[in-house]
Amino acid sequence: MDRPKRNILWLILGIFGLSGLGWFGNTFRPETIPMLTLFFLIIAATAFFSSLFLFKIVRRALLVTVGVVVWLLLRLLGLRDLWYPLLLIPCLISLEILFQRR
């Protein structure tokens, strides 16, 4: 049985996203709402393309992206307790199971 090959374009876009995130973080301070929005969009795109290259399933890539963005938003809002990521992981796993059965 032949396994589908990974699309190298997703890896290249993920690396470009990391490069763009580094440039954006060094050039602009994400303090205002438009800069924070752009910052989180770059993070979301980078996480999506990187996880899409790793998992090869769009549903899992979206769940990982949502998890990363929610976790970073929680950190931005000052919710830095260990329980928040520990509660976020089972929520994302349960969403994966829910969408997997449909």
The tens-digit pLDDT sequence of the chain (102 residues) is 677 788 999 999 999 999 999 999 999 988 899 999 999 999 999 999 999 999 999 999 999 999 999 999 999 999 999 999 999 999 999 999 999 876
Distance CA 8, CA 18 (A): 16
Distance CA 4, CA 56 (A): 9
- For residue 45, being part of any structural domain is answered with yes
pLDDT at residue 1, as a whole number: 60
Sign of torsion over alpha carbons 37, 51, 62, 68: negative
pLDDT at residue 5, as a whole number: 82
Expressed as residue numbers, the domain containing 83 is: 8-100
- For residue 32, being part of any structural domain is answered with yes
Distance CA 33, CA 4 (A): 41
- For residue 3, being part of any structural domain is answered with no
- For residue 1, being part of any structural domain is answered with no
